[in-house]
Amino acid sequence: MTQRRRAQPLILSIILPLALAAQAAYAGSPLASGTGGAVATISEPASQAALAILNKGGNAIDAAVAAAATLGVTDPFSCGIGGGGFMVIYLAKEKRVITIDHREMAPASFQPTVFTDNGQPIDFDTAVASGMAVGVPGTVRGWHEALDRYGTMSFRQVLSPAIKVATDGFRVNANFSQLAAGNEQKFRLFPATAALYLRDGKAIPAGTLLRNPDLAKTYRLLSSGGVKAFYQGKLARAIVDAVNMPPVASGVKVRPGNMSLADLSNYEARLRQPIRSSYRGYELYGMPLPGSGGIAIAEALNILEGYDLKSMPREQAEHLYLEASRLAFADRNAYLADPEFTEAPVAGLLSKDYAARRRALIDPQRAMPLAAAGDPYAFQNDPSIPLRPAPTPARLLPESAHTTHLAVSDKEGNIVAYTFTIESWGGSGITVPGYGFILNNEMTDFDFTGPHPNVPEAGKRPRSSMSPTIAFRNGKPAFTVGSPGGSTIITTVLQTIFNHVDLGMSMYDALNAPRLSQRNSTATQVEPGFTGSPQARALEQLGHAWRDENEEIGAANAIVFNPDGTITAVSEAHRHGTGSALTQSPAH
């Protein structure tokens, strides 16, 4: 012990400058105001990539793909071309909102029992680090649809910044190193992943210059061959081989998948109508099914709209926010899944009258126990869904908190709110050998056992909580917000809107306030440091209890469109490191 203590000053003298250099490499401001276009991401290189595309005349769609591709280099444990996502786009000239669903899809071999042994669900971590956890990746198809339909640039142009970062390298920061350390056990299973992110079996330290020439090669392949280069040919074969015969370390066994080349070549992105709702003069657009967030957020806000929250003490308003979230989650857990497999009562869940029925269950002075799902079918007004099945028991399954969200706007007024993911930190852990990207574990977002709308099925997309949101006021963009965080995404976006609209916080304060995530549990998940605070004690008087999992909730990004024509980009001031907000013409 004495020797270790004596060594600390020397070790710190070596490590600390490297860590500070790494943080400096990521240094950015989480708040920026100005004119022209704007971008907010969790990574300075990604934000710079988007800004470079905007400055070259690209639009918000071009810039969003550039930022996303760069995040695949600098934030590879949460996103990349091995996964999928949801993109919400506002087209300013047409004054309309569209969404692109490029969520991962179950292979054609999938059965409802794929995650069970002898009728019992298998261990969750075992399922994650396996080929069977990998869904057909949708990200590249989503980028293609976005650029082909709404962009102005080619893959070659928008991938150029990411290729440079992957080739030249970037300095790993402390947060990156900590994430790698938390996944050492999983990464050791797969030599291609260990070679990238571990050194002698341990996480690469902060300050390391990390290059990914294999990913640069893959991006060049997409630059020249387009979307077909991913879903057909050598790369497609490499993906299928990695899923079906996971390339593991000597003596290691993991469950293989059963994906075919046809699964890849047949994958399609879906253009879907957004979820549209209103709240106190704002018009909100979110992601539809298989995204559950847009519906759950709208239902919770409809419940809250019946209260004069601005006139209440903060703890009273926050109590109602928590209870509205609880009720919305009871419905979300019971009814929502892939719309191509389940006739969910969406119109009923979005009904203001249904919200009034749910609101009547709230005690203004006392937190309720677990809430039961309601009966939205009575408010459906949709003859195509005539049945009223009994809701399945509400439950909250494990859902990865590890995703990323970015926001981009351009000088023409186009907006992109984009959340994409590979699911868990480090996804399945399987890096496609020779291509430099990690495959998702998105299939673990299915319910492992039924009966439930979200059970695994061939060709099905698992229910998601990703909630990219764009808000308008008087027909003009007001703000956009989104976050990573698994099922906490929904509460993060909901609470940020509540903080901004009802508590009157600036978007910066709304986004950086302590997060409270009530997802129909006996205790509300909170961030480190909240328990014992005056805010916590005030809510405890109303019957609330806390679950502190010792981790931050979300890493949100937002853009505010100010009445005077300026824009304000907002990112995290401390979560997941410091985010990066930029505008084309900064205010001075």
Query: Crossing angle of helices 174-182/2-26, nearest 10°?
Result: 120
CA atoms of 546 and 455, how far apart (whole Å): 30
pLDDT by residue, tens only, the chain of 588 residues: 323 322 333 222 333 333 333 333 345 799 999 999 999 999 999 999 999 999 999 999 999 999 999 999 999 999 999 999 999 999 999 999 999 999 999 999 999 999 999 989 999 999 999 999 999 999 999 999 999 999 999 999 999 999 999 999 999 999 899 999 999 999 999 999 999 999 999 999 999 999 999 999 999 999 999 999 999 999 999 999 999 999 999 999 999 999 999 999 999 999 999 999 999 999 999 999 999 999 999 999 999 999 999 999 999 999 999 999 999 999 999 999 999 999 999 999 999 999 999 999 999 999 999 999 999 999 997 656 555 555 655 444 555 556 899 999 999 999 999 999 999 999 999 999 999 999 999 999 999 998 989 999 999 999 999 999 999 999 999 999 999 999 999 999 999 999 999 999 999 999 999 999 999 999 999 999 999 999 999 999 999 999 998 889 999 999 999 999 999 999 999 998 889 999 999 997
Q: Are the C-beta atoms of residues 444 and 98 closer than 8 Å to each other?
A: no
The two tokens of residue 19 are 């860590």
Count of beta carbons in the 10 Å neighbourhood of residue 366:
12
Rounded Cα distance between 460 and 462, Å, is: 6
Classify each residue of 247-269 as buried b or exposed e, where b means 16 or more C-beta atoms within 10 Å of its C-beta.
bbeeeeebeebbbbeebbeebeb
Please check whether residue 186 is in contact with residue 35, taking contact to mean a CB–CB distance below 8 angstroms: no
Distance of CA 482 to the CA centre of its chain: 8
Say what the pTM is. Answer: 0.93
Is the distance from CB of 290 to CB of 457 less than 8 angstroms?
no
pLDDT in tens, 261-303: 999 999 999 999 999 999 999 999 999 999 999 999 999 999 9
Q: What is the pLDDT of residue 19?
A: 35
Do the Cβ atoms of 191 and 251 come closer than 8 Å? no
Tokens 């949708």 belong to which residue? 138
Q: How far apart are CA 483 and CA 220, in angstroms?
A: 29
pLDDT in tens, 168-225: 999 999 989 999 999 999 999 999 999 999 999 999 999 999 999 999 999 999 999 9
**Tokens 């930022």 label which residue?**
67
Domain boundaries, the chain: 29-270+398-586
At residue 103, the pLDDT reads 98
Backbone angles phi, psi at 346, to 5 degrees: -65, -45
Dihedral over Cα of 105, 111, 114, 115: its sign: positive
The residue behind tokens 């000053």 is: 9
pLDDT at 91: 98
Q: How far is residue 207's CA from residue 185's CA, in Å, rounded to a whole number?
A: 22
Pairing of strands 546-548, 524-526: parallel
Euclidean distance between CA atoms 575 and 526, whole angstroms: 14
What residues does 585 pair with on adjacent strands?
35
C-beta of residue 241 within 8 angstroms of C-beta of residue 150 = no
Q: What is the pLDDT of residue 393?
A: 53
Distance CA 151, CA 64 (A): 10
CB burial of residue 509 (10 Å; 0-12, 13-18, 19+): middle
Separation CA 529–CA 520 (nearest Å): 22
Give the separation between CA 34 and CA 442, rounded to whole angstroms: 38
Residue 421 contacts residue 78 (beta carbons within 8 Å): yes
Contact 97, 88 (CB under 8 A): yes
Integer Cα distance of 506 and 496 in angstroms: 10
Q: Residue 459, CB half-sphere, CA atoms under 13 Å: how many?
A: 10
Give the C-alpha separation, 358 to 374, whole Å: 7
* Residue reference for tokens 């590890």: 402
Q: What is the pLDDT of residues 370-428, one digit of tens each?
A: 999 999 999 997 656 555 555 655 444 555 556 899 999 999 999 999 999 999 999 99
Residue 556, amino acid: A
Q: If you search the block for the tokens 């899944």, which residue do you land on? A: 337
Q: What are 283's two structure tokens?
A: 């018009």
Torsion sign (Cα): 344, 346, 347, 352: positive
CA distances from 437 to 72, 98, 160, 218, 331 (A): 8, 28, 17, 9, 36
Name the DSSP class of 303: H
Task: Report the run of H or E that residue 570 belongs to, with start and end.
Answer: strand 567-570
Distance in angstroms (rounded) separating the CA atoms of residues 47 and 64: 9
Tell me 120's DSSP state. E
CA 229 to CA 218: how far, in whole Å?
9
User: Catalytic site residues?
Assistant: 403
Q: What is the mean pLDDT of the chain?
A: 92
* Cross-strand partners of 33: 568
- For the domain 29-270+398-586, what is the CATH superfamily, name and number? Gamma-glutamyltranspeptidase, small (S) subunit (3.60.20.40)
